[in-house]
Amino acid sequence: MSEFDRYYEVLEIAPGAPVAAVKQAYRTLARRWHPDRFTSLEDKAIAEAKFKQINLAYEQLKDYVPPVRPPRSSPSRSPQSKSSGRSPQPTTPPSAAAPPPRSPQVPTRGKSPQRLYQMAADYAREGKYEAAIACLGVAIGRQPDYAIAYRYRGHLRSLLSLERSAAADLRKADKLERPASRPANSVPVAVPPAAMAQ
């Protein structure tokens, strides 16, 4: 087991998990094990040790990009690997094994919001969700009432388990799409077909 695999284990996530999963796991565990939540000295000491491990693991993994592992030739395990005595390792999808950079640089200069939306759809089809979200952010900045871009960005954020920001984007899309005469509890507009193709 590599040093980084141990850090993933401390954060209770699969090795090679995307940066978003690392951050979410860190937040959850830091809240759970914060020493101020415990009253007895013994529990507080245990929590402090665990909290230090969590912080160390997060510091090591927050900027870590795992090496790309070659795809396996067959989804079934060979008989040799079963008899090797090692426990089976969980497999991660290729998109989780090599997450894109933290803040992807996408070429946006001189592009219209509609062109940026199309670029985002292309990035999403390739599994580059962070780049797609970045394109949509620029498109929204250039056209703040671009409801479909908010909806698509909300969908992509939801795929990355960024639920709060996803919900905020979807609420904003609903607000922009709702004419004054349409009641607030009516059915929202569906995610465009391009958003569903991945």
Task: Look up the CATH architecture of domain 3-61.
Answer: Orthogonal Bundle (1.10)
Q: What's residue 140's pLDDT?
A: 93
Q: Is the pLDDT of residue 141 over 60?
A: yes
Q: What's residue 196's pLDDT?
A: 55
Q: What's residue 186's pLDDT?
A: 54
Of 6-10, 11-15, 47-51, 182-186, which has the strongest mean pLDDT? 47-51
Residue-wise pLDDT tens digits, 69-86: 555 555 555 444 444 444
Domain boundaries, the chain: 3-61, 113-196
What b/e string do you get for 95-119 counting C-beta neighbours within 10 Å, with b at 16 or more? bbbebbeeeeebebeebebeebbeb
What is the residue-averaged pLDDT of the chain? 77
CA distances (Å), 117 to each of 42, 76, 123, 169, in order? 54, 39, 10, 15
CA distances (Å), 157 to each of 71, 146, 150, in order? 26, 17, 10
Task: Look up the CATH architecture of domain 113-196.
Answer: Alpha Horseshoe (1.25)
Q: What is the pTM of this model?
A: 0.42
Residue-wise pLDDT tens digits, 143-185: 999 999 999 999 999 888 888 989 999 999 999 988 755 555 5
Identify the burial level of 74 via C-beta atoms within 10 angstroms of its C-beta, where 0-12 means exposed, 13-18 middle and 19 or more buried: exposed
CA 97/CA 36 separation, integer angstroms: 35
Q: Is the pLDDT of residue 194 over 80?
A: no
Please determine whether the domains at 3-61 and 113-196 fall in the same fold group of CATH.
no
